[in-house]
Amino acid sequence: NAGVTQTPKFRILKIGQSMTLQCTQDMNHNYMYWYRQDPGMGLKLIYYSVGAGITDKGEVPNGYNVSRSTTEDFPLRLELAAPSQTSVYFCASSADRGNSPLHFGNGTRLTVT
């Protein structure tokens, strides 16, 4: 099983550009999440989804958008990139909320200059 796959692995954006971070999982998990991790900090939740067609904001949603048209895919869209969005982005999934562990992708390292 591939688990959770994220693309691209690295990306450099100029201020004001837009991009989509891709995330797909092959475990048929209902729950999917986007986190960002800044140096020396814990992970902050950006958006999450409890199933296809359902998304909700996390702790730090400003500047981001998501969609969940299928169970497998949960892309994260950055509009008008800003230096504050320089971070490592992780996608994760879980079978349910309370009883199952999170499975993470390997991350996308984004630099905005």
Partner 1 sequence: KQEVTQIPAALSVPEGENLVLNCSFTDSAIYNLQWFRQDPGKGLTSLLLIQSSQREQTSGRLNASLDKSSGRSTLYIAASQPGDSATYLCAALAAGNKLTFGGGTRVLVKP
Positions in 46-85 near partner 1 (CB under 8 A)? 48, 50, 56, 58-59
Is 105 a binding residue for partner 1 by CB under 8 A? The answer is: yes
Stretch that binds partner 1, among 11-19, 21-29, 36-44, 60-68 (CB under 8 A): 36-44
Specify the residue, 54 or 80, whose C-beta has the smaller distance to partner 1.
54
Rounded to 5 degrees, what angle do the CA atoms 23, 27, 30 make? 75
Tell whether residue 103 is a contact of partner 1 (CB under 8 A).
yes
Residue 77: DSSP 8-state: E
Verify binding: residue 40, partner 1, rule CB under 8 A.
yes
Which are the contacts of 98, defined by CB distance < 8 A and separation ≥ 6? none
3-state SS, 3-58, equals CEEEECCEEEECCCCCEEEEEEECCCCCEEEEEEECCCCCEEEEEEEEECCEEEEC
- Size of site (CB under 8 A) for partner 1: 28
- Alpha-carbon gap, residue 33 to 26, rounded angstroms: 15
Q: Site map for partner 1, 4-23, x if CB under 8 A?
A: x-------------------
Q: Summarize as ranges the residues that interact with partner 1 (CB under 8 A).
A: 4, 31, 33, 35, 40-45, 48, 50, 56, 58-59, 90, 92, 97-107
